[in-house]
Amino acid sequence: MTTTETPPRGPSTVVVGRDGFPQLLRAEWTKLRTVRRWALTLLAAVLVTVLISLFSAASSSVDIAGGGSTAPTGPGGQSIRDDFTFVHRTLPADGSITARVAGPEGVSPDRAPEWAKAGVLVKENTESGSDYAALMVTPGHGVRFQSHFTGDVAGGAASADKPHRLRLTRSGATVTAYVPADSGGWRKVGTAELDNATGAVTVGLFVASPNVQSMNREFGNVSLSDGPSRSTARFDEVTVEGAAGGADWQRTDVGQTKGDQGELSRSGGTFTLTGSGDIAPGTPMQPDLVATSLNGSQLGLVLIAALGVLFITAEYRRGMIRTTFVASPRRGRVLVAKAVVVGAAAFAAGLVASLASFLLSMPVLRENGHEPPMFPEFSLTDGPVVRAVLGTAALLALVAVLALALGALLRSTAAAITTVVVVIVLPLILVSVLPLGLSQWLQRLTPVAGFAIQETTPRYDQVASLCLPEDGCYPQGAWTGFATLAAYAVVVLAIAVWRIRKRDA
């Protein structure tokens, strides 16, 4: 039998063809962990992220004049608005209220705000902050069924310039809303469970007209207009079943100061009601606390991007890429393996940085006056906080992959890092100085959209709110913004894989 001996390999011998993906991952991980300056770059990214986050938290203060500490709270402890004009009777047990509503129409200004409200309401009592369910007509959003200050259900298209019949029924703690059905009778819109409606409640007619707000920014200067409005509505065909016998209608300006009191005129069975205020979630123009505690990631990403670029351009600069491609001829798989390794390393560093930033910055923010009810309590067990912290780590991982892909395309460290600065860092600076329309355009369409994953302040469609980009407010949802950044990373990486297969090493 003939025995064939394999000659020993020297240290410079290249093994061709062993390019299974696990082997590629191991090889690329070995490169990353054995280059000392790359490990130091990751450490520096963590430190920069944490330190800048702490500085941002220490610099953030509360605008008490904006009403932060005096905001009423709802059943869930959240900041709310609960000030409106209410004409009501007592409903001691089960029953219903039905009315035909015309309006609301603007008094000042002439055109009512899009979320002005006029309709029928069941409320636990007339104290500001007590739970409620209301069926209403709005000038800009048709019929709505709203409850608990945050709940909002569309009840169908409607025009405020013609009357609409509305009905609420109460059965125990359950309130059900109805509008006329096309085929006759009534169509159910929704139900709500009141928190403490075990005994008598108040039912009646209401009008609310929120402030008219506008914001403009030119050359970094922000101008804010926020003025009260008043709207009026007419109610007829009003019937209440189950009301306390002999009790007459009463007007209460819930939560209103003396200068904001409403007006009531009554002619037979027709009520004309005028008022201001709102029943809605509170929307103070203040920064998102969780996003503020993670602000350092905006600078930490520069170091993460530099690592992503160097992870590929260093091999081109030294000519080592040829050796890599000889050992692993499938060039696309090599680049994907590099992306997985650098992305995983960036995610791990980002997770450490975001956890430390949140845990260290939040107490500083509380000491600076960011307290409930204006600012809710946050914990790492809260879903939005988990999403923001993990999302920040994932955001940095995507930035690393995007930078790696740019490095593979451009093969120049300086050019690739400059490109990263132009497409990510520069928009982050510009969103705080450009006119709001342009700032929101950058937030939607550039990789900066990924920072929407850090937003935790609830945004309610039923409230016309104002928010500055630098306060952590993004025009799209958190996951939509994150998907925009992910799309950039995937597309540029795919182009880099295609290009690296076509070009000489």
| Listed residues 247, 281, 315: the one ending a domain | 281
Tell me, yes or no, whether 296 and 238 share the same domain. Answer: no
- Give the model confidence (pLDDT) of 32-55 as tens digits: 999 999 999 999 999 999 999 999
User: Which residues are within 8 A (CB) of 282 and not within 5 positions of it... i.e. 6 or more apart?
Assistant: 71, 72, 78, 79, 80, 81, 373, 374
Taking the chain (505 residues) in runs of 10, the rounded mean pLDDT of each run is: 44 47 90 92 96 91 50 70 93 93 91 93 92 94 92 80 90 94 90 86 94 73 77 94 78 80 89 93 76 93 95 88 81 92 97 96 88 77 94 97 95 92 90 83 92 87 74 84 96 94 73
Beta-bridge partners for 233: 273
- Give the model confidence (pLDDT) of 389-422 as tens digits: 999 999 999 999 999 999 999 999 999 999 998 9
Task: Give the H/E segment covering residue 90.
Answer: strand 80-91
Residue 151 structural domain = 80-281
| Listed residues 281, 315, 336: the one ending a domain | 281
Tell me, yes or no, whether 136 and 52 share the same domain. Answer: no
Please give the pLDDT value at position 435.
82
How many structural domains does the chain have? 2
Tell me, yes or no, whether 327 and 415 share the same domain. Answer: yes
Q: Can you tell me the distance from the alpha carbon of 222 to that of 224, in angstroms, rounded to the nearest whole number?
A: 7
Tell me, yes or no, whether 220 and 354 share the same domain. Answer: no
- Give the model confidence (pLDDT) of 111-155 as tens digits: 899 999 999 999 999 998 899 999 999 998 999 999 999 899 998
User: Which residues are within 8 A (CB) of 73 and not within 5 positions of it... i.e. 6 or more apart?
Assistant: 79, 80, 129, 372, 373
Cβ 187 vs Cβ 175: under 8 Å: no
Q: What angle do CA 66, 71, 74 make, to 5 degrees?
A: 150
- Give the model confidence (pLDDT) of 294-334 as tens digits: 999 999 999 999 999 999 999 988 888 888 887 778 888 99
| Listed residues 281, 301, 331: the one ending a domain | 281
What's the CATH number where 185 sits?
Answer: 2.60.120
Token output for 160: 């405020």
Tell me, yes or no, whether 170 and 221 share the same domain. Answer: yes
